[in-house]
Homo-oligomer: A and B are copies of this chain.
Amino acid sequence: MDKIFKALASEPRRRILDYLAVEPMTVGEIADNFEMAMPSISRHLAVLKEAGVVREQKRGQYMLYSLVTNRLTGQLYDFLAPFCAQARGIVEARPRRRGRD
């Protein structure tokens, strides 16, 4: 949960997700859309992969990245649900440990 929000808290990484939402792409193809150097893109992709929102597949000497849509939507919906419920006055907020950290 923390990883997914950290992953999304970056304009370049959200842009990468936009591109991948259209179609899977190699690192180089993604990098062509940015002014950033490829190693930087590579690390952004690693962060997104760590968060589970993209996956990588070796395709010869290329690395193909694609979106893990249900991971993205699922995690965010899970986070949102309690707040939606509260907005409608239906239930209490989702359970979370209270008290000292």
Where the two chains meet, the residues of A that have a C-beta atom closer than 8 Å to any C-beta of B are 1-2, 5-6, 8-11, 14-15, 17-19, 21-22, 33-36, 67, 69-70, 72-73, 76-77, 79-80, 82-84, 86-87, 92-94, 96, 98-101
Contact = CB atoms under 8 A, between A and B. Distances in A.
A98 to B, nearest CB: 6
Each complex incorporates copies of this chain amounting to 2
A73 B69 contact: no
B72 A80 contact: yes
Nearest to A101: B35
A6 B6 CA distance: 7
The 5 closest A-B pairs by CB, nearest first: A21-B93, A9-B9, A69-B87, A5-B9, A5-B8
Secondary structure class of chain A's binding surface, majority of residues: helix
Contacts of A69: 83-84, 86-87
